Amino acid sequence: MAEANDPIARMALQLSRLPGIGQKSAQRLAYYIAGMPLDQVKDLAAALWQGRKALRFCARCGNYAQAELCPICQNEERRNGQICVVRDARDVAAMERMRDFKGLYHVLGGTLSPMNGVGPDDIRIKELLARLSTEDVQEVILATNPDIEGEATAAYLARLIKPLGVKVSRISYGVPVGSDLEYTDEVTLAKAMEGRREL
Amino acid sequence: MAEANDPIARMALQLSRLPGIGQKSAQRLAYYIAGMPLDQVKDLAAALWQGRKALRFCARCGNYAQAELCPICQNEERRNGQICVVRDARDVAAMERMRDFKGLYHVLGGTLSPMNGVGPDDIRIKELLARLSTEDVQEVILATNPDIEGEATAAYLARLIKPLGVKVSRISYGVPVGSDLEYTDEVTLAKAMEGRREL
């Protein structure tokens, strides 16, 4: 069963394309799946495919959603005048795990990166400015990653938003420099929110 | 998107049921898949489900197969009079990665384990004896795992097969005691085959 086109090799190939799954673990997983009851494999495959199909982006904040708006934007109680700006939808999940922030989000869908040709028009900055003029926003909390691109994006946004008379803050360096929001623990994230400073 | 029944949570739940994938990595993978292009997720889900559906067991040796017989049993050149007995179909793959063994296999589908209620009738011993009477077999190489159950199974098979006038050998302790064949590197496996002793 070592042929490149056998079912187990095809499973392993697909699995090895996921992040953090090397060739060896992909093969190990493929053999495990080969030995799983049919209906369990069906549930797994269906969860991935149906799940991915069901997902779209919130028309307002850019978070993952199943309807026009994501559950957070649908929740009236979250309109507390704060918008937390993050890079990716998965950063929203990281912030939500903290259970501390009660406002809304805005997902940029990237960070400014001149080296990679990502300019202000390539991420959802226009959409953020539009929200500031239509929603009742007192504070924009910039929670992009504490790395070079995240910092540059935060500085750019601060320059853009402060003249509009909206308070702009940046999460504090409670988050270790150079790391990734997604992998930060809830306590550190909570500290970072608490120690945020106005820009 | 923290509800238990949202698509990402469902993906993560299914992924966390795979071995070696904890809750954190399941969630990370789910978010990654949520961001993958639709057609790539389709390929992944299809490889798992179609792959699992396409698999059955070789009618002769018990290895994974797509037809009546597995590719190894179909290959006339592999009938060299040797049958290598392993516990699982995935152990066949481990042996094949060694590229050293040119004979056939017999997959037991388990090892004797009185503690767990697994007796001689619960694994494919009857089928092995049937092959010894119909195929031209000079040597049975017992390659069950070098753990207690694997040793007990090998000893049991040796007692059963030797009276039939067939040479019975056991892979040598080149494989570290207490480990699992599946995770053994090719060189160690090759040494274990080379150093096999008659029982």
Domains observed in chain B = 2-54 (1.10.8.420), 60-198 (3.40.1360.10)
Q: How many residues does chain A have?
A: 199
Pairwise CA distance, residues A119 & B111, whole Å = 61
Q: Which residues of B touch A180 (CB under 8 A)?
A: none
pLDDT > 50? residue B141: yes
pLDDT band, residue A197 (cuts 50/70/90)? low
Q: Contact A29/B51, CB-based, under 8 Å?
A: no
**β-strand pairing of A139-142 with A197-198:** unpaired
Amino acid, single-letter form, for residue A186: E
Give me the pLDDT at residue A4, please.
45
Q: How far is A10 from chain B (nearest CA, A)?
A: 6
Task: Find the closest chain B residue to A91 by CA distance.
Answer: B31
pLDDT > 50? residue A1: no
User: With contact defined as beta carbons under 8 Å apart, do A14 and A21 qualify?
Assistant: no
Task: Find the closest chain A residue to B30 by CA distance.
Answer: A48
Retrieve residue B97's tokens: 């990665």
Q: Which residues of A touch B107 (CB under 8 A)?
A: none
Q: Contact B10/A51, CB-based, under 8 Å?
A: yes
Retrieve residue B185's tokens: 């590197």
Q: Which residues of A touch B55 (CB under 8 A)?
A: 7-8, 34
Q: At what angle do helices B186-194 and B89-98 cross, to 10 degrees?
A: 90
Q: Contact A49/B54, CB-based, under 8 Å?
A: no
Task: Find the closest chain B residue to A72 by CA distance.
Answer: B1
Q: How far is B48 from chain A (nearest CA, A)?
A: 5
Retrieve residue A182's tokens: 């997604």
- Quote the mean pLDDT of chain B: 88
Retrieve residue A56's tokens: 């779209």
Q: How far is A101 from chain B (nearest CA, A)?
A: 14
User: With contact defined as beta carbons under 8 Å apart, do B104 and B61 qualify?
Assistant: yes
- Would the pTM count as exceeding 0.80? no
Assign B50 to helix, strand or coil.
helix
Give me the pLDDT at residue B171, please.
82
Residue that is written with structure tokens 């388990």 in the block: B110
For the CA atoms of chain B, what is the radius of gyration? 20
pLDDT band, residue A93 (cuts 50/70/90)? confident
Q: Which residues of B touch A10 (CB under 8 A)?
A: 47, 51
Phi, psi of B57 (to 5 degrees): -110, 140
User: With contact defined as beta carbons under 8 Å apart, do B189 and B98 qualify?
Assistant: yes
Across residues B41-61, what is the average pLDDT?
Answer: 94
pLDDT > 50? residue B2: no
**CA-CA-CA-CA dihedral for B129, B135, B137, B142, to nearest 10:** -40
Q: Contact A7/B36, CB-based, under 8 Å?
A: no
Nearest to B17, CA basis, from A42, A134, A138: A42
* Chains A, B: CB pairs < 8 Å: 176
Give me the pLDDT at residue B198, please.
64
Q: Which residues of A touch B92 (CB under 8 A)?
A: 1
Q: Contact B27/A93, CB-based, under 8 Å?
A: yes
* Beta bridge mates, A56: A65
Give me the pLDDT at residue A72, please.
95
Give me the pLDDT at residue A14, please.
96
pLDDT band, residue B1 (cuts 50/70/90)? very low
pLDDT > 70? residue A5: no
Q: How far is B113 from chain A (nearest CA, A)?
A: 20
Q: Contact A6/B40, CB-based, under 8 Å?
A: no
* Beta bridge mates, A84: A105, A141
pLDDT > 90? residue B120: yes
Give me the pLDDT at residue A164, please.
94
B52, B88, B97: residue with CB nearest A41: B52
User: With contact defined as beta carbons under 8 Å apart, do A192 and A171 qualify?
Assistant: yes
> Where is average pLDDT lowest: B83-97, B121-135, B152-166?
B83-97
CA B8 to chain centroid, in Å, comes to 32
pLDDT > 60? residue B4: no
- pLDDT per residue over A69-79, tens digit each? 999 999 999 99
Give me the pLDDT at residue A199, please.
65
Amino acid, single-letter form, for residue B147: D
Q: Which residues of B touch A74 (CB under 8 A)?
A: none
Q: Which residues contact B142 (CB under 8 A, 6 or more apart)?
A: B85, B153, B154, B157, B158, B168, B169, B170, B171, B199
Across residues A30-41, what is the average pLDDT?
Answer: 93
More confident residue, A111 or A181: A111
* Beta bridge mates, B85: B106, B142
Q: Contact B33/A48, CB-based, under 8 Å?
A: yes
pLDDT > 50? residue A156: yes
Query: What is this model's ipTM?
Result: 0.71
pLDDT > 80? residue B44: yes
pLDDT > 60? residue A139: yes
Q: How far is B76 from chain A (nearest CA, A)?
A: 15
